[in-house]
Structures are given as structure tokens and as C-alpha cells.
């Protein structure tokens, strides 16, 4: 077959984002009501009175979660929350989810029940209707794919590509905790694998473990924006680490930025864990993932309105594109942010 002569390229040559760009670059949108296709936290469809916001996420056993230390109920909860986070990142309100699962033979009915307990709890906590899905068997393990659908007025929707020079960059909550929770779980797993009599000691680490295993999405921030009449100028959720998400906002908005190490919120539970690992806490905040906080920009005139909210932390500002995306360290050094792998 002539196909044999074809040169195949490793996906690792271009990476996940490169692959997404590669397969989606020639998509032409056919419908005028598709306001946003690929390229933001969610797609946006205009139905006149209201816009629908749609996003999907896929969780694969062994890639996104390890069942050795992940309770199934938490897994179900997290699978919902990661999708809601993408809806909130559009400044929209999630309303429905569709859940698809593939299950291998090692799972019993009771296991699937536990996953659904978590899914249903998230639906209660975030006021979401579960409206359908698909169920399949799997040869290799568990896979959960959830699609979330949200609503917003067209003029309220916030994209990643609309940050403007001099806007203030803010993050919610704190960063790096979920990553440090994962490091702890991986460490205890290794110790257990080497000695089955080893008893994992997870006591006193509740906060970082909860951030890794049962994260929450920032519903209250979107409500806060509505109550105070604030519309961010751009927004994204932080699923892959602060550096990566800042680069997305800067690249899509055609701007640069300056952020300050001293302003980046890191919980002391995460700092302590990082110190135990001889690791810089900043590295966990910049390059760790799964915090599901929001990163957004606001006009300087709105700064006063957000400053009294203890969950919102201004970390820097948007600058000209040729400035690049720069971090000013505590010692005053300028470092260019890398999408991944900035090492102290």
C-alpha cells in the first residue's frame, strides 16, 4: 500500500496544544449563531434571547486519575466540577450535564453507584440537571466524559482573547495546593508499593488532599461579578497551572503582561508540603495544575470593587505584546513565563 511510504510524526513533536491547533485550524463555522467554536473554555451558541455555553472534558483512568487513591465518589464529583469550571470561566451559569462512562470488568454495580453518588452530589451543590449520557464497556479501565451546558446573555459572556493593555490581572483563591496534594498521594503510593505493610500517613494534609481529590468550581465569583455589576475583560479557568493560562490569555489577546511573585496566593498548606519536597512553592503555583481557580482581567476602574473580596487577588497587569509575559520575582528578577516547565 502506498500508505506504507507515508511519514508518520510523533504527537509528542507538537504536544497537546499543538495537536489541537493542527486538527482544528481548517474548521470553517457554517452557522452564524455559532459565536465561538474551538479556542476558549467553552463554545458559545446564540439563540437570540439567550446564549448556550457548551464544554466537555474527558477523564481517563491511569492518565487523569489513579484509583489506588481516588475514592470513586470524589471522582464523580470532580468529573462534574472540572466542566462547571469551564462554564463559569465564560461568566455563564451551568444548568445541565450529560455524562458518558466506559467501564471495565473490574467494576461492580456498587462501584458505578459510588461514582454516581459523587456526580449527583455535585449536581445538588451546583444546581445542575443531569439530562442524559451514554454507557459502554471498556477493555482497559474507566473513562468518564462529561459535557456541561450553561446559559448567559450575549453581552455578559467573557472570552480569553479580549484582555487590554493596563487591565489588572487577578486570580481567585490560591494556587498550587491541588498539585501538592497529588505529590503527597504519589509519594505515599510509592512507599506502599515498596512495602505493602506501609500505612499511608495522610493525616493533617486534609486541605491539599481535598483540593486534589474533591475540587470546587468558583461559582461564588461569578455571582459576585453579577451582584457588583463587574464584567471582566477576559477570563479563563486555571486547570493547567498559572503560567500556561496566562500565556493563553496573552497569546489570544495579543498582549503581554507583568505579574509579581509576591502577589501570587499560595496557601501555607501547599507551601509546607512543597518545602517537605524540597520544591519551590512558586513552581507548584505556576506549573502545577487542577486548581480550578479563575484567572481574569478587569479594567483598572473596577479594581476598587474587587479589592474587598478576600477571594480575589490582583497579581499584575497587562502590557504591550512585545513586553512578553513576565514574572518579577521577590528579588526583583524578570523571568519570562513558560507554558510549562519553568524551573527555579
- Angstrom distance (rounded) from CA 297 to CA 171: 9
Q: Is 141 in the site for ligand ADP (CB under 6 A)?
A: no
When CB distances are held under 5 to 8 angstroms depending on the partner's kind, the choice from Mg ion, ligand ADP, none that residue 38 binds is ligand ADP
- Smallest separation, CB 9 to ligand ADP (Å): 17
Distances (CA, A) of 15 to 11, 18, 135, 269, 325: 6, 5, 30, 32, 21
Instruction: Return the one option of Mg ion, ligand ADP, none that residue 40 interacts with (CB less than 5 to 8 A, by type).
Output: ligand ADP
Among 24, 127, 135, 307, binds ligand ADP (CB under 6 A): 24
Q: What backbone torsions phi and psi does residue 211 show, to the nearest 5 degrees?
A: -65, -30
Residue 138 or 161 with smaller CB distance to ligand ADP:
161
Q: Is 40 in the site for ligand ADP (CB under 6 A)?
A: yes
Residue matched to cell numbers 505579574 = 259
The residue within the footprint of ligand ADP, chosen from 39, 200, 265, 324 (CB under 6 A), is 39
Taking CB under 6 A as the rule, does residue 172 contact ligand ADP? Answer: no
Could you say which of ligand ADP, Mg ion, none residue 212 binds, taking C-beta under 5 to 8 angstroms by partner kind? none
Q: How far is CA 322 from the centre of its chain?
A: 27
The closest of 38, 158, 130, 148 to 87, measured between CA atoms, is 148
3-state class of 316 per DSSP?
A: strand
**Stretch binding ligand ADP (CB under 6 A), from 6-14, 32-40, 70-78, 283-291:** 32-40
Q: Which stretch binds ligand ADP (CB under 6 A): 20-28, 200-208, 284-292, 326-334?
A: 20-28
Cα 315–Cα 316–Cα 319 angle in degrees, nearest 5: 155
Binding residue for ligand ADP, selected from 239, 261, 269, 297, defined by CB under 6 A = 239
Q: E strands, the chain, where? A: 34-36, 43-46, 51-60, 93-103, 129-137, 143-152, 168-172, 234-238, 256-260, 293-298, 312-319, 325-328, 334-336
Q: Kindly determine how many residues on this chain lie close enough to bind ligand ADP according to the rule CB under 6 A.
A: 10
Nearer to ligand ADP, 39 or 141 (CB): 39
Per CB under 6 A, residues contacting ligand ADP are 20, 23-24, 38-41, 57, 86, 239
Amino acid at each position: 500500500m502506498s500508505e506504507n511510504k507515508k511519514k508518520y510524526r510523533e504527537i509528542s513533536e507538537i504536544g497537546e496544544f499543538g495537536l489541537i491547533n493542527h486538527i482544528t485550524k481548517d474548521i470553517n463555522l457554517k452557522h452564524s449563531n455559532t459565536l465561538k467554536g474551538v479556542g476558549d473554555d467553552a463554545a458559545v451558541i446564540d439563540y437570540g434571547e439567550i446564549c448556550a455555553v457548551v464544554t466537555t472534558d474527558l477523564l481517563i483512568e491511569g492518565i487523569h486519575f489513579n484509583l489506588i487513591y481516588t475514592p470513586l465518589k470524589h471522582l464523580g464529583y470532580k468529573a462534574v466540577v472540572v466542566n462547571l469550571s469551564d462554564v463559569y470561566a465564560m461568566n455563564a451559569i451551568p444548568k445541565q450535564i450529560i455524562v458518558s462512562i466506559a467501564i471495565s470488568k473490574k467494576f461492580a454495580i456498587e462501584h458505578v453507584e459510588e461514582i454516581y453518588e459523587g456526580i449527583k452530589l455535585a449536581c445538588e451543590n451546583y444546581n445542575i440537571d443531569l439530562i442524559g449520557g451514554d454507557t459502554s464497556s471498556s477493555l482497559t479501565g474507566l473513562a468518564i466524559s462529561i459535557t456541561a451546558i450553561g446559559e448567559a446573555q450575549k453581552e455578559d459572556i467573557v472570552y480569553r482573547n479580549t484582555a487590554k493593555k493596563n487591565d489588572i490581572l487577578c486570580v481567585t483563591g490560591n494556587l498550587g495546593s491541588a498539585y501538592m496534594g497529588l505529590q503527597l498521594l504519589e509519594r505515599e503510593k510509592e512507599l506502599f508499593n515498596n512495602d505493602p505493610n506501609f500505612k499511608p500517613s495522610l493525616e493533617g494534609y486534609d486541605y491539599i488532599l481535598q483540593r486534589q481529590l474533591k475540587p470546587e468550581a468558583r461559582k461564588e465569583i461569578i455571582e459576585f461579578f453579577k451582584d457588583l455589576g463587574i464584567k471582566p475583560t477576559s477570563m479563563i479557568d486555571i486547570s493547567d497551572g498559572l503560567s500556561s493560562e496566562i500565556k493563553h490569555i496573552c497569546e489570544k489577546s495579543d498582549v503581554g503582561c507583568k505579574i509579581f511573585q509576591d502577589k501570587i496566593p499560595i496557601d501555607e498548606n501547599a507551601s509546607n508540603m512543597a518545602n517537605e519536597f524540597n520544591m519551590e512553592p512558586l513552581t507548584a503555583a505556576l506549573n502545577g495544575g487542577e486548581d480550578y481557580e479563575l484567572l481574569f482581567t478587569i479594567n483598572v476602574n473596577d479594581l476598587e470593587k474587587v479589592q474587598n473580596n478576600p477571594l480575589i487577588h490582583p497579581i499584575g497587569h497587562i502590557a504591550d505584546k512585545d513586553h512578553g509575559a513576565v514574572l518579577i520575582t521577590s528579588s526583583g528578577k524578570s523571568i519570562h513565563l513558560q507554558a510549562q516547565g519553568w524551573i527555579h
